[in-house]
Amino acid sequence: MAFDENDLRRRMVGAVNSLKEDFIGLRTGRASTALLDTVMVEAYGSKMPINQVASLSTPESRLILIQVWDQSMVDSVEKSIRETELGLNPQTEGSSIRIPIPELSEDRRIELVKVAGKYAEQAKISIRNVRRDIVESTRKLQKDKEISEDEKRDAENKIQNITDSYVKEIDSMLSQKEIDIKKV
């Protein structure tokens, strides 16, 4: 084989997974505990993910409820949420924190769709970079006479087909995210 297909797929799946992570952070107007996955809390002298100091739930479609396990950590958790760029406004009630998820305005929805498009384009660029690297190494093998011209052409066609399938997956993810964002 002129190239390592497993390596190619692994690297492209990495770009798709990165896009999924980016999309999780984009609010769609519905409450999701995944919105807080990136929140790090100052706890016991180090930064910890929020889910290691509290339990998160969505009792209603527009509310995230955080039950902090250690009462002394409540202020730190609230501060960490406020410092994110998510635009959330936590409300503390004893050892629990309620985060209402506001309706998205039409302007904000349009802005989020543009951001989602940028994220998708970055993922496609990553995939095209992986394709370029693998194609270059295949061409080098042919130049060094380790594989034939036909093998190189077959490998390039297969690489392009794999690339196209991942780009199609990204387009599908983007279109689904746009639908989610535009849904009122």
The average confidence (pLDDT) of the chain is: 88
Query: Per the structure, how many domains does the chain have?
Result: 2
Beta bridge partners of 99: 64
- pLDDT digits 0-9 by tens, 31-63: 778 778 778 899 888 999 998 999 999 888 888
Q: What's the rounded Cα separation, in Å, for the pair 160 and 3? A: 12
Q: At 19, which CATH number?
A: 1.10.132.20
In angstroms, how far is CA 79 from the centroid of its own chain? 24
User: Hey, how many other C-beta atoms are within 10 angstroms of the C-beta on 138?
Assistant: 23
Question: Is 178 found in the same domain as 111?
Answer: yes
DSSP 33: G
User: Domain ends where: 61, 81, 100?
Assistant: 100
User: 86, 108, 114, 118: which is closest to 99 by C-alpha?
Assistant: 86
CB contact set of 81 (below 8 Å; sequence gap of 6+): 36, 39, 50, 66, 88, 90, 97, 99
pLDDT band at 98 (very low <50, low <70, confident <90, very high): very high
Task: Print the domain residue range for 150.
Answer: 5-24+105-182
